[in-house]
Amino acid sequence: MPQATQVDLSLISLHIEPTPNPATLKFCFSEEVIDEPIEFSSAAAAESSPLASKIFGFPWTNSVLLAPKFIAVTKQDWVDWSYLAEPLSGMIREHLNQKIPIFLERKERAHDEDQSEEECLDNGNLIHEKDSELVRQIKKAIDRDIRPVVAYDGGDVHFAELTSEGILYVKFKGACAGCPGRSQTLKNGIEVRLKELFPQINEVIGI
């Protein structure tokens, strides 16, 4: 589970940026507010984050990606950002100005044990004892070389699986999950870089 950083939320400024995915906007912070990205795909999953829960209070919300310096919000198709962006930005600013936590403290979380396990499993870049040395190195490379690039566009990418045939599956989150240009980014960027670093990889597939 990501941890909130020690920063005065009321002093953080906020601005809006578009992403390559027309369904997703980035609400960017002037400082880091958490240490690791986490994505929520439903209001129930967002119970550990008061801020994400508020965003899911808007019925058009599809997913929320909380990252160290931005929130990527993906909407449903039946509404337009021209009506949504400023009210949502105002709500986020109000949350920060009131110094309401981004995440609940561990002792406050409902069903903490089950939720922590689910969140841990969702972060495919965590290194586990059972991981082979190759998998460890691939996860480190994704963290170092790939995630900072996709974060610029409001997304995130995690290791999912490496098969014995050398097929690497990665999971896209945030703006990247439904981006029209995802295939090009995957094949011309991510796959090229990872195959360059690891000749054992024959293909990279996004899920």
Alpha-carbon gap, residue 93 to 12, rounded angstroms: 9
Q: Which two tokens stand for residue 132?
A: 């082979």
Residues 21-39: tens digit of each pLDDT: 999 999 999 999 888 889 9
Contact 36, 123 (CB under 8 A): yes
Residues 87-128: tens digit of each pLDDT: 999 999 999 999 888 887 654 444 444 444 344 445 567 788
Q: The CATH number of 9-121 is which of 3.30.1370.70, 3.90.400.10, 3.40.605.10, 3.90.700.10?
A: 3.30.1370.70
pLDDT at 119: 44
Q: Sorting pLDDT into bands at 50, 70 and 90, what band is 53? A: very high
Domain coordinates in residue numbering, the chain: 9-121, 124-206
pLDDT at 207: 82
Alpha-carbon gap, residue 64 to 42, rounded angstroms: 8
Contact 168, 206 (CB under 8 A): no
Residue 171: pLDDT over 80: yes
What's the CATH number for 124-206? 3.30.300.130
Q: Which two tokens stand for residue 79?
A: 């509404």
